[in-house]
Structure 1
Amino acid sequence: MRIHLLTFNCGKNEFRDNTALEELSKSVENSLPDDPPEIVAIAFQELTSIRTSFDYNLVHEILLDVNDAIVQRVSEHYQVTYHTLGLTHNGAITLSLLVLRPSRFYNIRTSYLPRGVAFSSLKGGVGIRVAYKSQVINNDDENDKELTFVSCHLNANEGEVNFNRRNQDLNKILSEMDFSDQYSVLKPDSHIFVLGDLNYRCSKVGEVENVSEIDELEKVKGDLDFTEAPIHFAQTYKYIIGTQDTFRTNRIPSWCDRILFLNYQEDLQPEYNSLPELTISDHKPVYLTITVPNTVPFIIYRKPTYYGSLVKTVSKATDTMFRFSMIKKTYLFLLTLAGLYYVTYG
């Protein structure tokens, strides 16, 4: 099965301008492989402004418009009809799955886990889990596949403290995101893909021969069941908006936007790259096309605890508080944010 994945931090764009939406859908088209993949997974972070992100219905409306434009573009590119199999979001973190043959998919599940300040939806992850029927005629499920996709936006900023918080965010998302099938993201016999603005930073500025020399994510890969295709593209953050290759000087250029998958032994024929021509955000989109084998590598699975349910309850209250404070006055929101940040992180 050939799968195409793309992640993009939209920089709170909202795509109310048709020009920006056209640029986005064109870039998605530019990332597509020659032959139509069975699945196209699209992950967005910061799809909307912070204020809009607390309004579920408004985010959903914006996401539908963006998704429809991408579905149309992908379908026209291949001259076949793609269908939206699943679409989910929490705050401004989104995930959608486009497929060629929707009748082959079943058991579609969604989940999310907030990890923002005071467990708000400002950071965290959303996921979609589906089963795929390889043999339709004889109803043989021996070669059926289960696939799990997770869109993440982890803790930001440089420094050891923020690095450790990113690791905590990722660990909680992988182990506590509950898909209501008694498993978290880490489920045996499920092909798992984690993509998004993981926010891992570089330790210095300048060109290097090996990404692992300066990249934070390389420090923790050994503790994960996931790997990544070799990186042969420029850092994806932080650019001056409107430019293809000019970084801002207040941040160390970093590969914040990543796509991870399990440690397969087979050759996945990966194509891993960025799209520098899209200049509407301070991030660049990253895409990956791979061939998924039948065999799923062994992983140490996790069953979620009560943590996820508790966090979701707290998150709804926090988001409501944030939304109310922003409606009243901006300074009240900032005061609330600062207070909850202190309570959360000390």
Structure 2
Amino acid sequence: MPLNVLIGTYNLNQRLLNQELTSWLFPLSTSSPSLLEKPDIIAIGFQEFNEYPNAFLNINSETRIKHCEGMIERAIYNCTRERYYQVTRSIFVGLALVIYVRDELINQIKDVEVEQIGVGPMWIGNKGAIVVRLIIFIDSSRENVNSVCFVCAHLAPHSKNVLKRNKDFQSIIQRLSTPYKKKYDTMYDNDYVFFFGDLNYRIELNYLKNPSLTISRLMNLLNTNQHQLVLPFDQLNIERKRGRVFNGFQEGEVKFSPTYKYYVDTFDSFNFSKRIPGWYHKPVSALFTINFIPPNIKTTNVTINIKIDKWRVVKKVIGNIFTRIAGLLWWLFGTRRGIKLFFVLITSILISWYFINLLLIKYRGKS
């Protein structure tokens, strides 16, 4: 049973989503409606979808995700004229993942599992992943199932932190374990896995110490839409060739320029002044076709040995606690409202202490 899967990933840079999404989610429909192949499953991931430190404290997250959902659902209906059901949505600090399925598929969903993994300092959720696994019946007998796993991630930033991004990926797959009847112990035990998000891999100018790729040449290639000549210098491609990350994964053909860093409110003007560009979001918008397979039939010869992190539950608890602590401290000392509240509290405490001392002095004098 073939299914079409549409995946989109969007870093909102802590801004409220104000872009019409039809041309982004369904680019073919704007050029030729007849080319549009309606997806059966739609997975949309967001990064930095809420302001910091509000995201750490889950302030306004519900309001923002409802706003995003409204715009997504409007775009879906405008292009498909069909009803899609939201099977799950998950919010984890600055990450959000929303998944929809077509009307006729909703009764085939047997189960939905959600996991959240923080890979920031002390396992806080400023960087990490949301993982959703759909368990879907594959035949009319409703006895056999396949699992489709979606991983929306935000990995470590900055060009030099390639090894940290690799470590973040390894940490995610080692700490992911939401087994369905002990059949799917790791991410690789699923029948299908889609990994996407703001992966933060950049263009490596010094790869193989090649003197031909300088900043000026890079600017010229990107500004003239010759991004195919830049792909060999993509850090993610380099690390995959070295076998360090995403073993067993396949990537579709990249037909778009790097997705970062543009000047704000532009889509074709790279900002080279602060950061090296990169294909942060792969896939940005991709339509996959998957064929559900009978149980016990292996579809790949790749053997991946994953060492499950036995401390994953402890790390999750610690990470959640420190996420809230970090958010509270950031809010108190890093925002105007927090600083004002802090000084009001301190002033109130000092004034109260002053009057309490006066009362104690008077009481002692009378006694």
Question: Match of 2:352?
Answer: none
Quickly say closer, same or farther: Cα 1:293–1:227, change in 2 above 3 A: same
- TM-superposed CA distance for 1:61, in Å, is 3.2
Q: Which runs of 4+ in 1 moved over 6 A?
A: none
Question: Match of 2:315?
Answer: 311
**What is the DSSP-based 3-state SS (H/G/I as helix, E as strand, rest coil) of the residue aligned with 2:240?**
helix
**What is the DSSP-based 3-state SS (H/G/I as helix, E as strand, rest coil) of the residue aligned with 1:37?**
coil
The 5 A counterparts of 1:243-258 are 243-249=266-272, 250-258=274-282
**Does the CA-based 8 Å contact 2:47-2:94 persist in structure 1?**
yes
Question: Match of 1:51?
Answer: 53
**Does the CA-based 8 Å contact 1:147-1:192 persist in structure 2?**
yes
Question: Match of 2:27?
Answer: 30
Of the candidates 9, 25, 29, which is equivalent to residue 11 of structure 2?
Answer: 9
What is the letter of the counterpart of residue 38 of structure 1?
A: D
Query: TM-score scaled by structure 1?
Result: 0.79
Higher helix share: 2
Deviations 1:99-155 (A, max 9, x none): 00211111210001101123211100011001222323x4352xx421000000000
1:240 corresponds to 2:242: no
1:169 corresponds to 2:173: no
Which range moved further: 184-193 or 171-180? 184-193
1:291 corresponds to 2:286: no
Partner Cα separation in structure 2 for residue 102 and residue 301 of structure 1: 34
Partner Cα separation in structure 2 for residue 305 and residue 46 of structure 1: 27
**Does the CA-based 8 Å contact 2:22-2:78 persist in structure 1?**
no
Quickly say closer, same or farther: Cα 1:31–1:83, change in 2 above 3 A: farther
**What is the DSSP-based 3-state SS (H/G/I as helix, E as strand, rest coil) of the residue aligned with 2:90?**
strand
- TM-superposed CA distance for 1:49, in Å, is 1.2
**Does the CA-based 8 Å contact 1:174-1:184 persist in structure 2?**
no
- TM-superposed CA distance for 1:302, in Å, is 3.4
Partner Cα separation in structure 2 for residue 97 and residue 125 of structure 1: 15
Query: TM-score scaled by structure 2?
Result: 0.74
What is the letter of the counterpart of residue 290 of structure 1?
A: F
Question: Match of 1:201?
Answer: 202
Question: Match of 1:118?
Answer: 122
Question: Match of 1:268?
Answer: none
Partner Cα separation in structure 2 for residue 31 and residue 55 of structure 1: 39
Which range moved further: 178-187 or 197-206? 178-187
Question: Match of 2:142?
Answer: 139
Quickly say closer, same or farther: Cα 1:4–1:245, change in 2 above 3 A: same
What is the letter of the counterpart of residue 175 of structure 1?
A: Q
Partner Cα separation in structure 2 for residue 234 and residue 77 of structure 1: 25
What is the letter of the counterpart of residue 165 of structure 2?
A: R
Q: Tell me the number of residue pairs that the alignment of Structure 1 and Structure 2 aligns.
A: 297
Partner Cα separation in structure 2 for residue 92 and residue 189 of structure 1: 26
**What is the DSSP-based 3-state SS (H/G/I as helix, E as strand, rest coil) of the residue aligned with 1:8?**
strand
Q: For structure 1, which runs of at least 5 residues remain unmatched after alignment?
A: 260-285, 334-346
Partner Cα separation in structure 2 for residue 24 and residue 38 of structure 1: 18
What is the letter of the counterpart of residue 294 of structure 1?
A: F
- TM-superposed CA distance for 1:60, in Å, is 3.0
What is the letter of the counterpart of residue 326 of structure 2?
A: F
Partner Cα separation in structure 1 for residue 201 and residue 282 of structure 2: 9
Which range moved further: 26-35 or 234-243? 26-35
**What is the DSSP-based 3-state SS (H/G/I as helix, E as strand, rest coil) of the residue aligned with 2:71?**
helix
Question: Match of 1:270?
Answer: none
Greater Cα radius of gyration, structure 1 or 2? 2
Partner Cα separation in structure 1 for residue 91 and residue 22 of structure 2: 19
Of the candidates 221, 225, 229, which is equivalent to residue 240 of structure 2?
Answer: 221
1:321 corresponds to 2:344: no
Deviations 1:12-32 (A, max 9, x none): 1133xxxx1x52455334367
Q: For structure 2, which runs of at least 5 residues remain unmatched after alignment?
A: 30-34, 206-214, 222-226, 294-298, 339-367
Question: Match of 1:190?
Answer: 191
Question: Match of 2:110?
Answer: 106
**What is the DSSP-based 3-state SS (H/G/I as helix, E as strand, rest coil) of the residue aligned with 1:257?**
coil
